[in-house]
A and B are shown apart, each in its own frame.
Chain A
Amino acid sequence: MSYPLDRIRNFAIIAHIDHGKSTLADRMLQRTGLVEPRTFRDQYLDRMDLERERGITIKAQAVRMPFTGADGQDYLLNLIDTPGHVDFAYEVSRAMNACEGAILLVDAAQGMQAQTIANLYVAIEAGLEVIPVLNKIDLPAARPDEIAAEIASLLGGDPDDILAVSAKTGEGVEAVLERIVERVPAPATRDDGFTRALIFDSIYDSYRGVITYVRVVDGELRPRQEIRLAATGFHNEIDELAVLSPEPRPVDRLGPGEVGFFTAAIKEVDQARVGDTVTGHADPAPDPLPGYREPTPMVFSGLYPVDSEDFPDLRDALDRLRLNDASFTFEPESSAALGFGFRCGFLGLLHMEIISERLDREYDIPLVTTAPNVGYEVDLEERTRRPGEDATIRVSNPADLPDPSRIAEIREPVVDAMIITPSAYVGTVMQLCEQRRGSLDSMDYITEERVELRYALPLAEIVFDFFDRLKSGTRGYASLDYEPSGLTVADLVRVDILLNGEPVDAFSAIVHREKAYEYGKAMVARLKELIPRQMFDVPVQAAIGAKIIARETIKARRKDVLAKCYGGDVTRKRKLLEKQKEGKRKMKAVGAVEIPQEAFVAALSVGQD
């Protein structure tokens, strides 16, 4: 059935990570009778294996729920559950673009955290009606009154007006649904005769091609309709038009305000870009909807097959992964040490981990992953520019950093970071930020006990182990959110690592000059631990240019033979050696040195403080 505009409510659930978004969505699904008890499972909308294993949401999910309000009217609610992790913040922005309202869920024990506030600002900016809701009031540690006051002081309004629920027990969920009906504005439409639908997600499916998720803004979509995608010009007939409720259910029309998906024999996600407008092919809307920027990669790392023969397979695998994840980028590169591979860009470390895990799981290609780094911009000395070379180059692989004599200026990415911490830990947090070259922008007491700090920090200083340090320094109480804020000039140098006197490009890192010495020392010590003893002595050195700044030696292995042959039991001995051989196959031979995969990400575990 189709709903009149004033009966439709589109809303997202936004919150800090783990504050219970997906669990609240569960209760709503059950309350509206969409999921039978027999098929129900916790965090129903977290469908991917990785989401279920990690207990987090990675992809936003939209569901359509019919709901009969207390006023006796039938409403159509479109819910979008969003991820909380900062790497996937762009998913939240997309989701909000398809909604008129947002439930801002706050854990009543933890209170507002960095992503609560960050998401709140995004929602306000997107012009959404924000409905704050306290969650987890069943917890003994819940402090609903206090937290309600905190929220009210930030959002305005009456603390008593803030709804409190337990997504776990279902208490209070009914009231939230009523409030959505009551407060979230019905979608607006222009009614100018054109069709406009916003693409907020697209997923590749090997059977049906790209599945495009849309929110219709103006006009309507129907099966067999000739549509056109404004930005790419792609046009075709809609095959399948459906809604998720929460399982796919075909519909014969999506009208203004409605959310659903279609297929149209689209071969690549790049043809149906998120943010693009779906319009009529015969009568395209002259003014497509304002879209949004694709997120740009924040960290880069090299992916190399251990066995060079796997290179084409790796390319295929990356191509296929990208079909489903346009936020990840890759381009071929080569390394003297590792051969041919790809420089891949990710939104953050979690994103990188997820991609590597999927490669490992779905494609089973033994890989070496190099330590991640951020991307730099380098202005070249005018007189050293080669014909055809740009004045400014981008460096996403430290090995590509030009010789210092050719560099006029290096710029590194910086972020605006927001840290929320109990006031008792302000000193610790400030110290940590200073060690990481941060500069304080502001400090606000949200309440007497809770402080919001804003720092400008180099991305390279926070994207790797900063969060862990922050957590351990504040007994888990501080939270962090950040967004990119451009590039600034910095005094950076490249530290190279030499094995056996030969530089191993995959180990090079760009670090701040003042930290280079310490980094080099820590790195060679770590490599000495990680690289097993070889048949020969292997010197490990760190160098800036020609200058050696640190050195260790991995002593040759002195004994590698079993004393006995166990009488005639050759089988046992052979199996032992076959196992060793298997272990070797997982290592990368660089020159005469066998390097285990962990060593290539050693920089990640090198303490910088």
Chain B
Amino acid sequence: MPAAPSPRQRAAEAPGPPVGSRAAEAPDPHAARGAGEAPAPGVYVHVPFCAHRCGYCNFAVDVGADAGLRRRYTDGVLAHLAAVAEAGPRALAPQTHHGGEAPGPGWPVLGSVFVGGGTPTLLDPGDLARLLTGLVEALPLAADAEVTVEANPETVDEASLATLAAAGCTRVSIGAQAFEPATLAFLDRRHDPEAPARAAADARRAGLASVSLDLIYGVPGQTPEQWEAGLDAALEAGVDHLSCYALTLERNTPYARAVALDGVPAPDDDVAAARMAAAGQRLRRAGLRRYEVSNWARPGHESAHNRMYWRGGDYLALGAAAHGHWQGRRWWNLRPTQRYLARVEAGQAPTGGQEILDEATRRAERLLLGLRTAEGVARAEVTPIDEEAAAALVAGGLLADDGAVLRVTEAGWALADGLAVRLLP
């Protein structure tokens, strides 16, 4: 594969679907595709390191890794990347029994990269940049590819973000969670309330095209006023994308233990529903569009990567515990960082497990993912469904059905999973 000197140049040469400068295009080129069309594949890279584990979080996270291990990890992921790129896409798809000698198809053009965590920005900015450059060199990325790095607010500044931008990063997603000390303390967050806005401003100055914040709602003790004030603060920080997640009680977390043993309050569904509705109203007034249960964006700033997930797209998985999907095969990499590293350093595949989806399972996934989105899901992709249930949900005002596409109504957002369960045949 020819080497490319820089991401920008590379993008201009990339074959595949028409590409162009984001600014010149229609506000939301991806949305024009609508439900049902195959999105461009993506890459997910997991970076498991965190400075400490937040009480509510059960993501694959390693606390206390030293600089040496973080560098080794970067090298390990790059080695893994090289092996995957070399093997080609055929190695990712469900294995067919016949053939093998004929060279497989080459890589399709990829539309997005997401470096998530953990805390990717705990890596040395140079290492993160190496990772991004490595990706761009190894795989054909579209010119308008979205390249997101997840960032904890206290771990970035203008300089480090500029380094990422130079390496091809187009978007940051900053974990703000809340803007008042009490809620941050409940969540066991270590940054000060001003850090997220500072980080967002730094990102703008560093030239990143899209800036997103993560917020958590339904935190016990947080008042409705505080929640709305937090939304205002996020908007004031000048972001063009917001992810608002309902606090979820995850198993095997310090929070879950505190709820079980110390009488710490668990999140309440009714409270969460009220906060979610408030966010919907507040953000619409501010000109953001809700395009998924937990995601709002200014037109054109929807996350292509996340949208690819919800459309059932294909994505590579790099890094410990990362999940991948390719044409009906789902797999995940080994979780403990050390085991992952041992494999990739030995030139072996670090796969921890996989499942091959049958047709019914694929339809079920399309349904449950598609109903999370504003664009909905094409009936053709999910038939058969429980038509009686569908009719009842339409009559109850939770589901919209134009005969071709099923989507949740405004009232249905908060019940999307319940709808999916009922529509499953």
Chain B nearest CB, measured from A83 CB (Å)? 44
What residues on A are CB-neighbors of B398 within 8 Å? 535
Q: A577 at interface (Cβ–Cβ under 8 A)?
A: yes
What residues on A are CB-neighbors of B310 within 8 Å? 565
Select one of B245, B309, B415 contacting A535, CB under 8 A.
B415
Whole-angstrom CA separation of A38 from B235 in the bound complex = 81
B interface, size bucket = 35 or more
Q: Are A570 and B415 in contact (CB under 8 A)?
A: no
Whole-angstrom CA separation of A568 from B311 in the bound complex = 12
- Binary interface encoding of chain B residues 397-425 relative to chain A, with 1 for a CB under 8 A from any of its CBs, else 0: 01000000000000001111111111010
Whole-angstrom CA separation of A11 from B96 in the bound complex = 73
With A568-B309, A574-B364 given, is the CB distance from A558 to B270 under 8 Å? yes
What residues on B are CB-neighbors of A536 within 8 Å? 396
Q: A563 at interface (Cβ–Cβ under 8 A)?
A: yes
Whole-angstrom CA separation of A577 from B247 in the bound complex = 19
Whole-angstrom CA separation of A559 from B361 in the bound complex = 24
What residues on B are CB-neighbors of A578 within 8 Å? 364
With A535-B393, A563-B293, A567-B323 given, is the CB distance from A574 to B365 under 8 Å? yes
What residues on B are CB-neighbors of A584 within 8 Å? 421-422
Q: B294 at interface (Cβ–Cβ under 8 A)?
A: yes
Whole-angstrom CA separation of A559 from B372 in the bound complex = 13
Q: Which residue of A lies closest to B312 (CB)?
A: A570
Q: Are B420 and A564 in contact (CB under 8 A)?
A: no
What residues on A are CB-neighbors of B332 within 8 Å? 569, 571
Q: Are A592 and B421 in contact (CB under 8 A)?
A: no
With A568-B322, A568-B323 given, is the CB distance from A559 to B421 under 8 Å? no
Q: Which residue of B lies closest to A568 (CB)?
A: B323
What residues on A are CB-neighbors of B273 within 8 Å? 558-559
Q: A560 at interface (Cβ–Cβ under 8 A)?
A: yes
Q: Are A561 and B418 in contact (CB under 8 A)?
A: yes
Chain A nearest CB, measured from B169 CB (Å)? 18
Cβ < 8 Å to A, chain B residues 147-171: none
| Residues of chain A at interface, number, CB under 8 A | 24
Q: Are A565 and B369 in contact (CB under 8 A)?
A: yes
Whole-angstrom CA separation of A237 from B84 in the bound complex = 79
With A535-B396, A584-B421 given, is the CB distance from A570 to B294 under 8 Å? no
With A558-B269, A559-B246 given, is the CB distance from A569 to B421 under 8 Å? no
Q: Which residue of B lies closest to A594 (CB)?
A: B422
Q: Are A562 and B364 in contact (CB under 8 A)?
A: no
Q: Are B364 and A561 in contact (CB under 8 A)?
A: no
- Binary interface encoding of chain A residues 479-497 relative to chain B, with 1 for a CB under 8 A from any of its CBs, else 0: 0000000000000000000
Whole-angstrom CA separation of A569 from B352 in the bound complex = 13
Q: Are B325 and A559 in contact (CB under 8 A)?
A: no
Q: A580 at interface (Cβ–Cβ under 8 A)?
A: yes
Q: Are A559 and B270 in contact (CB under 8 A)?
A: yes
Q: Are B415 and A577 in contact (CB under 8 A)?
A: no
Cβ < 8 Å to B, chain A residues 551-609: 557-565, 567-571, 573-574, 577-578, 580-581, 584, 592
Chain B nearest CB, measured from A389 CB (Å)? 37
Q: Are B355 and A560 in contact (CB under 8 A)?
A: no
Q: B248 at interface (Cβ–Cβ under 8 A)?
A: yes
A-B contact pairs, 16 of them (CB 8 A): A535-B393, A535-B422, A557-B269, A559-B414, A560-B269, A560-B414, A561-B293, A561-B417, A563-B248, A564-B294, A565-B369, A567-B114, A570-B330, A574-B361, A574-B364, A592-B392
Instruction: Please give 11 more A-B residue pairs, beta carbons under 8 A apart, in addition to A567-B46, A570-B323, A584-B422.
Output: A535-B398, A558-B273, A560-B269, A560-B414, A561-B414, A563-B246, A567-B116, A568-B322, A571-B323, A580-B417, A592-B392
